[in-house]
Amino acid sequence: MPIYNFRLIPYLYDAFKPSLVAHMIIFDDTPFIEDLDKEYFNINYEHYWLSIGKLFQSFFFVCLFFALLVLANLLVFIIHKMNCSNQTLNNWASKKMTQFKFNAYIRFYMLVYFDTTFFSVMKIMDPNNDTVARKAALLLSYILFVLNIVLPVFLIAHINRRFDILAMKEAKQSFNTLLLKIDKASRWRIMNPAYFFGRRLLTAMLLTLPIDNTFIFLQYVFILMTSHAYILYMVAVKPFQSPGINSYVLASETFYSALIIAIFIFSDATPEMSIKFGAGVALIVSLVLLVVSNFVMNIFQIWQGPARLKKTIKESTLKRAEKEALERAEEEERKLKKKKEEEEFTKIPDETMNMSSIDASNTTNQNNTMSELAGPRKKGGKGKKKGTEDNVNEAGMGGVHDSDFQPTKKRRRQKGAGDGKTKNKDDDLAEGTITGTAPNKSKKRR
């Protein structure tokens, strides 16, 4: 099947023709329906000799393998229920029944997901629905397309709902094929199947665009961007359990991204032959590296064996958990330190404001106290000065003495008493002077 709606050099298609077996397109001429080999969904598929008959071959074999899977499940179910005397056979049947419920069906669905989505969308966009068979195919295409949207959403939601118990083997054994070799310690890692389904769904929909469509460029842009996005996801999240698997998947995606770029340059979008030659070399190298990386990884896993693989995965998971726990502890310590610094930074201005308000209130209270203490003295002094001026004025006007007025305050009364004492003394001296006799000793003492 074509990767993009770009027209390649025709004889190059023969080099890719064996890979069509992966989509179960086996015969050049479709048996029993030779007429469909002359029909194409659009003109671009005619350039690749992919007729409706060849695409029907792929869909037919998908249905055939699904029927064989159901028959195998039925056979294992019968052996499991027979309860044979051979305990080894019973254990084998019991283990396989666990795989058939529902890992075998989920894995088969993941393998044929792109083909079934592409066929359904192609048939929905096909305007030719004259015969009964074509109308039945259209109805089946609608059912498959809706199923291919709803079922992946259900599977991803089921995984997220059981995220807290994924560490238990019994909790994930019915859908473990979705999380094969994936580390279950983070929600970001278990979202890898969501990317798998979403990428293939949108790619199948974009490949149905005819070559004269305005948005035909979205095919190349979307596939290239999704490939780069997955590379970034692999680098940042590392969803698989061991570093070897992460490196293998990252290398495969990198070779695939280089293959995409080389195919675009090798197509009719680039007219220069020298550039096409370089792009052809890059295309062949990318394909060889992609095949070799898969071959080497398979040989390496066979050489390690199941026991060593499990041990390696367990050690890698433990080291990763310890590293992540240490990183989380450092992050928590960093957050606490930052929070403490923010609290101290916000606490200093508050204390300064409180001290300023306390100083201001103390100053105000002190001023009020001083004014209260100074107020009566100032008022008494003014009253005294005013009374003295009045007495002087009155003495100048009418010759009135101070002794004619009663003192209003104790201090003035005491002062008046002192004036009276002085006056009596003056009177005694005057009398003594007048009479010629000296004053008494008692009076002098007094």
Please state, for a pLDDT cut of 70, what percent of the chain lies above it.
Answer: 72
The better pLDDT of the pair 7, 185 is held by 185
Three-state SS at 433: helix
- Is residue 45's pLDDT more than 90? no
Share of the chain above pLDDT 90, in %: 14
The pLDDT tens digits of the residues spanning 309-351 come to: 888 888 888 888 888 888 888 888 888 888 888 877 776 555 5
Q: Whose CA is closest to 263, among 88, 38, 2?
A: 2
> What tens digit of pLDDT does each residue of 232-281 get?
999 988 898 888 889 999 999 999 888 888 887 877 677 788 888 888 88
Q: What sign does the CA torsion over 391, 392, 398, 404 have? A: positive
Q: How far apart are CA 74 and CA 301, in angstroms?
A: 31
- Average confidence (pLDDT) over 357-369: 57
Q: Which residue has the higher pLDDT, 370 or 193?
A: 193
Task: Give pLDDT, residue 415.
Answer: 44
Instruction: Give the range among 126-135, 321-330, 332-341, 386-395 with minimum mean pLDDT.
Output: 386-395
Classify residue 393 as left (phi > 0), alpha (psi -120 to 50) or beta: alpha
Rounded to the nearest 5 degrees, what angle is found at the Cα of 431, between the Cα atoms of 429 and 437? 85
Query: Tell me: the pLDDT tens digits for 76-89?
Result: 888 888 877 778 88
Give this prediction's pTM. Answer: 0.67
Q: How far apart are CA 223 and CA 85, in angstroms?
A: 55
Closest CA to 115 of 193, 207, 221: 207
In the prediction, which pLDDT does 145 show?
A: 93
- Higher per-residue pLDDT: 304 or 7: 304
